[in-house]
Chain A
Amino acid sequence: MQDYITVGMLNSYITRLLNHDAKLQDFWLKGELAGFRLYQQSGHSYFTLKDEDAAVSCVMFKSKGQKLAFKPEDGMEVLLRGYVSVFARQGKYQVYVEEMQPYGTGGLFLYLEKLKARLFSEGYFALDKKKKIPRLVNRVGVVTSQDGAALQDILKVIKQRHPGVEVVIAHSSVQGSEAARELAQGIQILNEYGEVDVIIVGRGGGSLEDLMAFNSEELVHAVYHSHIPIISGVGHEVDVSLCDLAADLRAATPTQAAQYAVPDYNVLHQDLANISDRIVRLMQRVISNREERLDRSMMKKVWREPGLLLHDKKELLQEKEKRLGKAMGDRIKEADHHLALAAAGLDKLSPLKVMTRGYTILSKDQRLIKDISDVAIGDELQADLVKGQLRVVIKSKEKIRRWKI
């Protein structure tokens, strides 16, 4: 029988060889990321690092991955520090990554600039998508670490400005590999809860690496999709985080974010009192304007001495009456005169007047006898005198020529 060794022995031997080579135990390696996978369960990441015609498997354990300041993506050029060892189960060697950063001028900055440019072009920072922060809030959502100073600052400011405001905290880590996911989730559950008027997301100051969760695409998405207005308060004055850009309002610190979120209760109260007073005053003015107009109208002479309005008419009436009276009197006088004249004329023509002078009127059967031809001999006629009546009989007729009329 040939001497042989087992697979396990082989792998152990090779492992020992590699582990004893100082060069392989701590080196920097540059390459392009491919097939990057982060396993949620274990928190370990697996990927391949390659250049034009070479590739090597890499693994990054959770404890190291949590310190990553950026989100690794396929195609990204990175610089990593690590060591080589053997994964005995598969008989393959791989690089165990201790730390990793984007490669190139300014590494992390360059990565951020690229991410910012992409998110910008995708519309996540669009100003017309910004929601208005309500002036009065009853309940404020806060996404931050429940152990951080930022939360204490926020609570202090809120109590100062409006003691009645309720606060709902969605705890999240604010740095490390879980931070981006937890921050995003905090925003999501507050949206799901739905009873807060505004959300503050933030943390106190730190290094760029510490703040990387606030530059994560995941958080930017959550902020952008929130139905509730978001104020970003990340403690850094110089640089603007991507979370700031996506938020509806950017504050420089958590304290300032709380000031933006909650109006000063006393000021708001005063504003409201002022506006109420103003409305009452304006209404009084509306009414007094009309009163004044009414007064001015009522001051006119016509209202004070309404008799004046009738005075002219009265004069006119009196004049007319006078004229009417005079015209009427004249007319009556004239009529009287005519009547007297007519009566006098009538008197002269009266048959009675003639009869007093001795004339008699002859009539037959109510007809006046004016000619001898009107009667026959023997006719009985009636003769009227002034003071009596005679019945006469015709004895004879004779025509007499008197004078020509």
Chain B
Amino acid sequence: MENIDFDSALDRLEDIVEQLESGQLTLEASLAIFEEGVRLSLYCQKELKKTDGKVQRLLKKLNGELELIDWEA
């Protein structure tokens, strides 16, 4: 779960739906991917709420360093 991004998680969720829909899996396999699906869904919901809406301006200083400063309209 550490190395997943939102898009991959969403793709995997869709894949899980498809697999569950196919009805080809054993009960054990179904339960396993169901659990995975629940975890991914929680992860996605968490990702959706993560950010705080800041607006900043990125500057490159003369010494080559990058600097972020808050931006006011």
Contacts and interface: CB of A to CB of B under 8 A. Distances in A.
B41 to A, nearest CB: 4
Nearest to B35: A283
B57 A192 contact: no
Given A136-B6, A282-B20, A286-B30, A193 B41 contact: no
Contacts of B44: 136, 272
Given A275-B14, A282-B17, A139 B34 contact: no
Interface in B1-42: 5-7, 10, 13-14, 16-17, 20-21, 23, 25, 27, 30-31, 34, 37-38, 41
Contacts of B66: 189, 192-193
B21 to A, nearest CB: 6
Interface residues of B, number: 38
Contacts of A375: none
A159 B53 contact: yes
Contact of A169 (B23, B56, B60): B56
A167 B21 contact: no
B13 A164 contact: no
Nearest to A132: B7
Task: Name, among B27, B52, B58, B71, the residue most crowded by chain A CB atoms within 10 Å (CB to CB).
Answer: B58
Contacts of B73: 152, 155
A165 B6 CA distance: 14
Interface in A84-117: none
B58 A168 contact: yes
Contacts of B31: 283
A302 interface: no
B51 interface: yes
A286 B7 contact: no
A2 to B, nearest CB: 58
Given A193-B66, A275-B17, A283 B30 contact: yes
A170 B44 CA distance: 29
A221 interface: no
Nearest to A274: B17
B41 A276 contact: yes
A268 interface: yes
B60 to A, nearest CB: 5
A61 interface: no
Interface residues of A, number: 41
Contacts of B10: 135-136, 272, 275
A190 B58 contact: yes
A282 to B, nearest CB: 4
Contacts of B37: 276, 279
B15 to A, nearest CB: 11
B27 A286 contact: yes
A134 B20 contact: no
Contacts of B45: 269, 272
B55 A167 contact: yes
Contacts of A389: none
B62 interface: no
A134 B30 CA distance: 29
A320 interface: no
Contact of A135 (B6, B49, B55): B6
Given A152-B73, A166-B56, A279-B38, A138 B51 contact: yes
Contacts of A171: 57
In the A-B complex, the 4 residue pairs with the smallest Cβ-Cβ separation, listed nearest first, are: A282-B20, A164-B51, A136-B6, A276-B41
Interface of B: 5-7, 10, 13-14, 16-17, 20-21, 23, 25, 27, 30-31, 34, 37-38, 41, 44-45, 47-58, 60, 66, 68, 71, 73
28 contacts: A136-B44, A136-B48, A138-B51, A146-B71, A159-B53, A164-B48, A164-B52, A166-B52, A167-B54, A169-B58, A170-B57, A192-B60, A193-B58, A272-B10, A272-B45, A275-B10, A275-B17, A275-B41, A276-B38, A276-B41, A278-B17, A279-B17, A279-B38, A282-B21, A283-B20, A283-B31, A285-B20, A289-B23
